[in-house]
């Protein structure tokens, strides 16, 4: 009874130093008041209070007891997150409009949208490949809630805000703040939004033919009737990391200048999208197929049906059976003459680089948001749940665990906002060379680290609900399943760690120079606050160790740095977030 396990048979086994006459410090002793034998510490068991013989039984077949645990409540996620409010108050010039927008949206999320998200989870999409008479129809049937999410995304401007730019260079911060509130309640609709945003960005940056230009207006529309979502069909059966080696899709030129695509796309997410950007290799007049990364072209295709209701040039092979993200249709697609327009000739990987940047930032927003949501619920639960005679919030160890989760959630949030700020500056033409280098370096760093943080923090968060965190109908396990994909799609941790090395090499080290300049400047600001002195000292030490490591690594063979790539990326993330790394 002196430890946390009251079922062990004898106090003395747990604490041999306890003599039979020592009073038990645990009051009442968990074991002996109900035991037949006397507790060596407390003496004889207390006599049970006499019960009224006419009172109804406390437990019987018809009664299940009187206690029911109060469940955690989702409140307005904007008002519940003081850090978001503080960050915006500190930085944003157009505060009032943004605050009103986020507060109203937060209200909507807790009042209605969160329930739609749950509906998407319990009513996942299904494929109807044939009609009753055997004709192919390839219908992906989604829940009404999923369709409402699309209307909501348009009317709330979840993509549009980034392109209207009414907050100037802070527009991306506004947009990502809104997505940050929305993500854990969105039923994964943030996935099609990420790809839609990425596609809009690519189209905008490439400057493209009129057919594609009208698609751009739809992708960035606030009108639910006009709004389109986009897919990003990049992964084929050979895999999704080495895009150049993995892309076998062929593009057959047509007399009118368009193309027909033939290939097999192995993972296509949010396959109910209205259009897609995808990669393929243009077949030459002599039948030649251009190899490698430079042989890849980028294509725009609409997902349309012919007058008979058949998908034009697409067969949906099957929906994927996934660990999480079940709310969202992910399919294998056979492209069988899909009509398409080429939007970039060769240099396909470089053409989608903008999309990679945008979708990786969205991924990180989802990671930070998952952490914020689980911490918010766990904190609320700690005020409602009692154990060992106290509410969870009054147990110092529980509070410490919540505090550690909170620190991780805040660190991820601040880095997400920093990279969103840099993107906004780049898009509005006010970015300095330092901003541009930081954006290139910090995007993969943020994505890879926040995804790992999300899995760890959400897992810890589930534990803080005990067994209830493991029960499907609480909605909590879905948070963990959905977090697991964040480190896999849009570039795995190792692929992104190597991307960090690649951008260091291609910039001749300028991205790292920018990193050191910026972190030193940030530490300079922080050092003016005396309570931060120990943290600043630790970070300065880590930064200087990182500098030594980089110098030494530059003198070694490339394989040395390759092996250190993950640790290097983690260190870059942790120092920028203000958390001294475990390894430099
Ligand atoms: C919903 C269901 C979920 C189911 C589970 C998930 C299943 C997985 C689903 C997926 O597969 S999602 C897709 C995941 N795949 C990726 O995100 C791609 C990951 N791989 C990379 O990011 C590689 O680094 C990359 C493909 C980009 C490497 O390809 P290459 O051909 O070796 O590119 P290279 O030569 O490094 O760069 C080509 C050009 O692109 C260069 O430009 P220049 O030619 O002008 O020099 C690069 O600078 C540029 N570039 C590459 N990465 C860039 C970039 N530019 C900016 N930012 C970047 N990140």
pLDDT digits (tens, 9 = 90+) for 412-425: 999 999 999 999 99
Per DSSP, the three-state class of 43 is: strand
Q: What pLDDT does 24 receive? A: 46
Q: Please state, as a whole number, how many other Cβ atoms lie within 10 Å of the Cβ of residue 284.
A: 10
| Ligand 1 site, residue 330, Cβ cutoff 6 A | yes
Specify burial of residue 238 (Cβ count, 10 A radius: 0-12, 13-18, 19+). middle
| Ligand 1 site, residue 427, Cβ cutoff 6 A | no
Which atom of ligand 1 sits closest to the CA of residue 270? 1
Which atom of ligand 1 sits closest to the CA of residue 359? 17
567 vs 17, higher pLDDT: 567
Asked if 341 contacts 211 with a C-beta cutoff of 8 angstroms, the reply is yes
Give the Å distance between the CA of 234 and the centre of ligand 1. Answer: 10
Which atom of ligand 1 sits closest to the CA of residue 347? 44
Lowest mean pLDDT among 193-207, 345-359, 414-428, 467-481: 345-359
Mutational test site, ligand 1, from 356, 443, 498, max ligand atoms within 8 Å of CB: 356
Lowest mean pLDDT among 34-48, 103-117, 241-255: 34-48
Q: What pLDDT does 118 receive? A: 97
Q: What pLDDT does 419 receive? A: 98
Lowest mean pLDDT among 52-66, 364-378, 432-446, 513-527: 52-66
Which tens digits make up the pLDDT trace of 15-59?
Answer: 445 444 444 444 444 433 333 344 444 444 455 567 787 876 666
For the chain, the average pLDDT equals 90
Helix (H) / strand (E) containing 574? helix 558-577
- Band (pLDDT 50/70/90 cuts) for residue 4 is very low
Does pLDDT of 10 surpass 90? Answer: no
Asked if 514 contacts 520 with a C-beta cutoff of 8 angstroms, the reply is no
- Band (pLDDT 50/70/90 cuts) for residue 62 is low
| Ligand 1 site, residue 161, Cβ cutoff 6 A | no
Nearest CA to ligand 1 atom 10: 489
Pairing of strands 250-253, 314-319: unpaired
| Alpha-carbon separation of residue 251 from 174, 176, 421 (angstroms) | 39, 36, 38
Average pLDDT over residues 304-321: 95
Q: What pLDDT does 209 receive? A: 75
Sign, CA dihedral 163-166-170-171, equals: negative
Nearest CA to ligand 1 atom 59: 353
Does pLDDT of 11 surpass 70? Answer: no
Q: What pLDDT does 421 receive? A: 98
Q: What pLDDT does 540 receive? A: 96
Q: What pLDDT does 51 receive? A: 74
- CA 453 vs. chain centroid, Å, equals 10
| Ligand 1 site, residue 485, Cβ cutoff 6 A | yes
Does pLDDT of 70 surpass 80? Answer: yes
Q: What pLDDT does 53 receive? A: 78
Average pLDDT over residues 177-198: 98
Q: What pLDDT does 207 receive? A: 80
Q: What pLDDT does 330 receive? A: 96
User: What percent of the chain clears pLDDT 70, i.e. is strictly above it?
Assistant: 90
Q: What pLDDT does 46 receive? A: 53
Per DSSP (E only), the strands in 401-468 are none
| Ligand 1 site, residue 482, Cβ cutoff 6 A | no
| Ligand 1 site, residue 240, Cβ cutoff 6 A | yes
CA distance 269 to 272: 8
| Ligand 1 site, residue 357, Cβ cutoff 6 A | yes
Which atom of ligand 1 sits closest to the CA of residue 443? 59
Q: What pLDDT does 440 receive? A: 98
Pairing of strands 250-253, 230-233: unpaired
- Residues of the chain by 3-state class (helix, strand, coil), percent to 5: 55, 15, 35
| Ligand 1 site, residue 494, Cβ cutoff 6 A | no
Tell me the two tokens of residue 431. 């970015």
Give the 3-state DSSP-derived string for 489-506, with helices as H, strands as E and coil as C.
CCCCHHHHHHHHHHHHHH
Q: What pLDDT does 459 receive? A: 98
Does pLDDT of 390 surpass 80? Answer: yes
Nearest to 259 by CA among 232, 278, 236: 278
Nearest CA to ligand 1 atom 46: 350
Q: What pLDDT does 270 receive? A: 84
Average pLDDT over residues 115-137: 96
User: What percent of the chain clears pLDDT 90, i.e. is strictly above it?
Assistant: 81
Which tens digits make up the pLDDT trace of 467-521?
Answer: 999 999 999 999 999 999 999 999 999 999 999 999 999 999 999 999 999 999 9
Contacts of 417 (CB under 8 A, 6+ apart): 87, 173, 176, 177
| Ligand 1 site, residue 244, Cβ cutoff 6 A | yes
Lowest mean pLDDT among 206-220, 355-369, 390-404, 535-549: 206-220
Q: What pLDDT does 9 receive? A: 39
Per DSSP, the three-state class of 35 is: coil
CA distance 347 to 345: 6
Mutational test site, ligand 1, from 349, 482, 569, max ligand atoms within 8 Å of CB: 349
Asked if 527 contacts 578 with a C-beta cutoff of 8 angstroms, the reply is no
Does pLDDT of 525 surpass 60? Answer: yes
| Ligand 1 site, residue 241, Cβ cutoff 6 A | yes
| Ligand 1 site, residue 353, Cβ cutoff 6 A | yes
Q: Please state, as a whole number, how many other Cβ atoms lie within 10 Å of the Cβ of residue 386.
A: 15
- Which pTM does this prediction carry? 0.90
- Band (pLDDT 50/70/90 cuts) for residue 185 is very high
């Amino acid at each position: 009874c002196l430890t946390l396990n009251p079922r062990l048979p004898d106090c003395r086994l747990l604490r041999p130093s306890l003599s039979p006459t020592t009073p038990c410090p645990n009051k009442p002793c968990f074991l002996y008041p109900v035991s037949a034998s006397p507790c060596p510490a407390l003496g004889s068991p207390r006599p049970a209070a006499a019960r009224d013989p006419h009172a109804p039984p406390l437990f019987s077949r018809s009664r299940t007891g009187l206690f029911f645990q109060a469940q955690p409540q989702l409140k307005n996620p904007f008002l519940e997150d003081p850090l978001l409010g503080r960050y915006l108050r500190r930085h944003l010039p157009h505060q009032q409009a943004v605050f009103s927008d986020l507060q109203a949206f937060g209200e909507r999320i807790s009042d209605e949208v969160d329930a739609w998200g749950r509906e998407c989870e319990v009513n996942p999409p299904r494929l109807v490949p044939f009609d009753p008479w055997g004709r192919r129809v390839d219908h992906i049937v989604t829940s009404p809630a999923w369709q409402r999410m699309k209307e909501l995304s348009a009317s709330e401007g979840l993509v549009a805000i980034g392109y209207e730019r009414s907050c100037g260079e802070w527009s991306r911060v506004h947009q990502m703040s809104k997505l940050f509130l929305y993500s854990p309640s969105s039923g994964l609709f943030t996935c099609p939004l990420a790809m839609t945003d990425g596609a809009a960005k690519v189209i905008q940056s490439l400057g493209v033919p009129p057919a594609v230009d009208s698609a751009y207006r739809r992708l960035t529309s606030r009108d639910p009737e006009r709004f389109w979502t986009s897919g990003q069909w990049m992964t084929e059966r050979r895999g999704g990391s080495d895009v150049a080696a993995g892309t076998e899709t062929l593009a057959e030129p047509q007399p009118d200048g368009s193309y027909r695509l033939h290939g097999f796309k192995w993972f296509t997410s949010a396959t109910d999208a209205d259009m897609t950007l995808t990669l393929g290799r243009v077949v030459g007049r002599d039948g030649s197929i251009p190899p490698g990364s430079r042989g890849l072209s980028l294509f725009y295709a609409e997902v349309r049906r012919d007058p008979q209701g058949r998908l034009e040039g697409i067969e949906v092979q099957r929906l994927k059976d996934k660990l999480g993200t079940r709310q969202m249709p992910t399919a294998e697609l056979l492209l069988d003459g899909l009509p398409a327009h080429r939007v970039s000739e060769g240099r396909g990987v470089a053409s989608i680089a903008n999309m990679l940047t945008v979708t990786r930032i969205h991924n990180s927003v989802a990671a930070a948001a998952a952490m914020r949501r689980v911490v918010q619920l766990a904190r609320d639960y700690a005020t409602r749940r009692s154990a060992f005679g106290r509410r969870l919030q009054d147990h110092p160890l529980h509070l410490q665990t919540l505090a550690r989760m909170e620190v991780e959630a805040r660190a991820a949030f601040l880095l997400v906002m920093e990279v969103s700020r840099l993107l906004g500056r780049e898009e509005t033409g006010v970015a300095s060379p330092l901003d541009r280098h930081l954006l290139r370096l910090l995007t993969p760093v943020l994505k890879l680290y926040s995804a790992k943080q999300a899995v760890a923090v959400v897992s810890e968060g589930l534990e803080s609900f005990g067994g209830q965190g493991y029960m499907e109908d609480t909605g909590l396990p879905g948070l963990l399943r959905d977090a697991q994909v964040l480190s896999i799609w849009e570039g795995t941790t190792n692929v992104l760690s190597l991307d960090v090395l690649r951008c260091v090499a291609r910039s001749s080290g300028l991205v790292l120079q920018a990193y050191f300049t910026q972190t030193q400047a940030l530490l300079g600001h922080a050092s003016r606050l005396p309570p931060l002195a120990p943290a600043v000292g630790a970070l300065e030490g880590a930064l200087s160790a990182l500098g030594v490591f980089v110098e030494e690594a530059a003198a070694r063979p490339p394989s040395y740095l390759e092996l250190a790539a993950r640790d290097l990326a983690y260190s870059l993330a942790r120092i920028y977030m203000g958390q001294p790394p475990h390894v430099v």
